[in-house]
Chains A and B, each alone.
Chain A
């Protein structure tokens, strides 16, 4: 029995390490750094938001019980949504590590362990991993937020403890449910699809999940306003949003305390009496719904783990077979495309090396896909906020300026994701081939990389935005804008990839300077530049001659930048490759002396 417990502990530790394994960072040196970094980035935002933003509202703004109850619904929705979205995102990012995989089979298969022991340890590791994240995310707000809620009222200690426990339980339950839902989706796909189809579909689903969850997370502060009217009292579709169920559970568990505070007969400031009365009415109207929402929350919290566990157990009946390679037989269409690319897009072999290597890496490497999906999520969230602003504007001229600026901002954000992706080595240990086969010319290779990004990312994005522009601001402006947008996008790409000592996808780029200090400045600069350009463009589009001047100026700026760039990317630029085969650890600049 003792041996079995030790084995279980060892296996559990092994699987926990696997969750933090990252082929791009050092196998040993950076794991603790990574844990601290992740825990801090989960805990600190909760503390900052609770104390600085939400705290000031309750301490200085709302001194009455009913108004507090109504305002708190927004904040509870926010906490619950963030918990759900972050936990679901963790599930999406860890997508391939959720199940036993071929590497587990290679490592553990030959050992005298039963499959049940292995599966149990994996499941235990998964539970610990998820719980640790849930605690890091929800612990601080669970203590601070309830205290702020009752700051103005005389409430006994038992009620405060109940509030704290309720907050902690509901936010953690919501997060766990969201995480399990991602696991459920994965396991369901595994069950219904063949192994080869699962591999194909799985990559797409993971990307889509990261994109949608990421953009929704960024939009959460905006979505969590007016919750009583927008979500809880809204249409049946609005009420079917999962965070609403858990807010209902929260309120059902604590409504006794809310009603007790109301019954204390506190003195309400004169100016707040009508608002307080309205808040009373609204809260009383919602009271019967909380129970129904709570029932729904309890139902899904019960059913989802059972269903997920059943699927998980079924799919992990035995260790997975070693991976069978995916067949990539070249079709006629692909062959023709390759010939056309060789003729018109990337004529030199080095250009073709950069072009095809970029396409293959961005399409097939999970970490590279994740970088672009995350940037896409940010761009989508920003676009939604912009569009909301546009709909609220009556002036056509200003709306046009916003639409035009939005494109530059959205494309720039996605290209920042591309920069992050191409600044990540495709596979550090395989990089040795680059210094071995390298002829010293950076320019053609980087040109191939840029052309791949233009064809695979910029052109599809611009086409989608062209259709959007057509709908929003009319065909004439949309078509006039497209060439300028293309030149600007390519210029932004050139600027982002201007780093002579870095070879895309083989060397890891380092963030320029102190990103925490300069990040907001870069962002402001982007917004100012995008708006300025949009204004200039709007003025130019009205007149053919001015439009021609704008096009010529854009093209000249681009050519000027290319010529300057060519001086640095020409023959003789010394590339510092990250890694050579003899190095025992791999670095991403993390081990540099501070």
Chain B
């Protein structure tokens, strides 16, 4: 459904994303893993059409997304990493704005918005101004905004950021349910536990390059590791985390 082909993105000559290729299929949740600065968010922005790749292409149903970005975005839901919203609006007003920009009928908005806000535990808070929201509340509004138009492709960029435990559990089930209903989902995160529980396939990115692209099971058996965390450590981390942690603690205690 959505295919990234040899994506490269350079900033000031440095390749932040280097020859990344993968496919998102309907009914599948693909995890996109990598340490900070590995190029996850840059890839996500190329997938959403917010930035152009230096080379390579993104195709949706066989057509380059840049050929008809508007039509592609009608089928796309995107939860960005940073929860930037209009602070003077209430959550409900923001969702109304997004729904209207997407040309959803008013009758549909008046059914969907309150229902989604209530289900995300924000029934009353939906009337408060966003300026007073916690990060988690903003994240919930972003998730509602991304799903309101029932998209075919959904891109989550660090969706659990700021969410409480209950909301994280709901989100994980929601992602799986949406996939079961035929959505193609990219789940970009550095929280290994989430990716392991939610995703069937995992792409691991390191310094802008794909170092693994397979199912979680396959990676575990291939690398003879019992968990995704160990696989990740093997693929990405060059130093022993315990040793690094000990070194940090030593620096902290310097007086």
List A residues at the B interface (Cβ < 8 Å): 322-330, 342, 348-350, 352-353, 356-357, 360-361, 364-365, 426-427, 429-430, 432-440, 445, 580-582
* CB nearest neighbor in A for B45: A582
Are A438 and B101 touching (Cβ within 8 A)? yes
Binds A, one of B59-67, B88-96, B184-192: B88-96
28 interchain pairs, CB-CB under 8 A: A322-B132, A325-B125, A325-B129, A327-B128, A328-B93, A328-B127, A328-B128, A328-B129, A330-B127, A350-B103, A352-B100, A352-B106, A356-B93, A356-B97, A361-B88, A427-B84, A427-B85, A429-B84, A430-B87, A436-B78, A437-B101, A438-B101, A439-B70, A439-B102, A580-B50, A581-B45, A582-B41, A582-B50
* CB nearest neighbor in A for B149: A437
B119 at the interface (CB under 8 A from A): no
Report how far A445 CA is from B41 CA in the complex, Å.
30
Are B131 and A323 touching (Cβ within 8 A)? yes
Which residues of chain A are within 8 angstroms of B129 by Cβ–Cβ distance? 325-326, 328
CB distance from B62 to the nearest CB of A (A): 21
Are B133 and A325 touching (Cβ within 8 A)? yes
Report how far A438 CA is from B127 CA in the complex, Å.
25
List B residues at the A interface (Cβ < 8 Å): 41-42, 45, 48-51, 70, 73-74, 76, 78, 80, 82, 84-90, 93, 96-106, 125, 127-133, 145
Which residues of chain A are within 8 angstroms of B97 by Cβ–Cβ distance? 353, 356-357, 433
- Given A427-B84, A434-B101, 17 more A-B residue pairs with CB atoms under 8 Å apart are A322-B132, A325-B125, A325-B133, A326-B128, A326-B132, A350-B100, A356-B97, A361-B86, A426-B88, A427-B85, A429-B84, A430-B85, A433-B98, A436-B73, A437-B101, A581-B82, A581-B84
Which residues of chain A are within 8 angstroms of B133 by Cβ–Cβ distance? 325
Question: Total A-B pairs in contact (CB under 8 Å)?
Answer: 112
Are B105 and A349 touching (Cβ within 8 A)? yes
Are B86 and A325 touching (Cβ within 8 A)? no
Q: Which 3 A/B pairs are nearest by Cβ-Cβ distance?
A: A325-B128, A325-B132, A353-B100
CB distance from B144 to the nearest CB of A (A): 12
Report how far A438 CA is from B101 CA in the complex, Å.
6
Which residues of chain A are within 8 angstroms of B125 by Cβ–Cβ distance? 325
Report how far A582 CA is from B42 CA in the complex, Å.
8
Which residues of chain B are within 8 angstroms of A437 by Cβ–Cβ distance? 73, 98, 101-102
Which residues of chain A are within 8 angstroms of B70 by Cβ–Cβ distance? 438-440
Cβ contact of A581, chosen from B80, B86, B87, B102, cutoff 8 A = B80
Which residues of chain A are within 8 angstroms of B127 by Cβ–Cβ distance? 327-330
Which residues of chain A are within 8 angstroms of B145 by Cβ–Cβ distance? 433
CB distance from A22 to the nearest CB of B (A): 15
Are A349 and B86 touching (Cβ within 8 A)? no
Report how far A440 CA is from B145 CA in the complex, Å.
19
Cβ contact of B80, chosen from A326, A356, A432, cutoff 8 A = A432
Contact (A364, B98) CB under 8 Å given A323-B132, A349-B103, A581-B82: no
CB distance from A530 to the nearest CB of B (A): 35
Which residues of chain A are within 8 angstroms of B50 by Cβ–Cβ distance? 432, 435-436, 580-582
